[in-house]
């Protein structure tokens, strides 16, 4: 299946999480922090740390390690705190 990350089409497989897709592509960070504008990505891998936040289909604050991708998902880097669009 295909999803998009920051506008670029990416190949993904059934069952993969957003983090799985991105890490497999060598992408390590997909969020910047609110305070220090620092890059963050996966940390705990199991949904407890909320470091891996990403925006999916216009909805921010989605844990990339928990969210299983669906065909056509529009995934975007999350910059600090965002509102759903």
Ligand X SMILES: Cc1cc2nc3c(=O)[nH]c(=O)nc-3n(C[C@H](O)C(O)[C@H](O)COP(=O)(O)OP(=O)(O)OC[C@H]3O[C@@H](n4cnc5c(N)ncnc54)[C@H](O)[C@@H]3O)c2cc1C
Residues that bind ligand FES (CB under 6 A): 42-45, 47-52, 63, 65
What is the C-alpha radius of gyration for the chain, rounded to an integer number of angstroms?
12
Q: How many residues bind other proteins (CB under 8 A)?
A: 45
CB 79 within 8 A of CB 35: no
Q: In the set 10, 20, 75, 76, which binds other proteins (CB under 8 A)? A: 20
Asked if residues 82 and 12 have their Cβ atoms less than 8 Å apart, the reply is no
Q: Are strands 29-32 and 78-79 parallel, antiparallel or unpaired?
A: parallel
Q: Out of 26, 46, 71, 85, which residue is the one contacting ligand X (CB under 6 A)?
A: 46
User: Left if phi > 0, otherwise alpha if psi is -120 to 50, otherwise beta: which for 72?
Assistant: left
Q: How far is the CB of 55 from other proteins (least distance, A)?
A: 11
For the bound state, the minimum distance from the C-beta of residue 22 to ligand X, rounded and expressed in Å, comes to 18
Pairing of strands 53-56, 59-63: antiparallel
Which residues make up the interface to other proteins (CB under 8 A)? Answer: 13-17, 19-20, 23-24, 28-29, 33-36, 38-51, 53, 56, 59, 61-63, 65-68, 70, 80-84
């Amino acid at each position: 299946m295909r999803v998009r990350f920051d506008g670029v089409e990416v190949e993904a497989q059934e069952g993969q999480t957003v983090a799985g897709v991105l890490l497999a592509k060598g992408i390590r960070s997909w969020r910047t922090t609110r305070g220090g504008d620092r890059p963050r990505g996966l940390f705990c891998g199991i949904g407890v740390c909320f470091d891996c936040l990403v925006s999916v289909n216009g909805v921010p604050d989605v844990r990339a390690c928990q969210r299983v991708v669906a065909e056509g998902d529009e995934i975007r880097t999350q910059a600090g705190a965002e509102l759903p669009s």
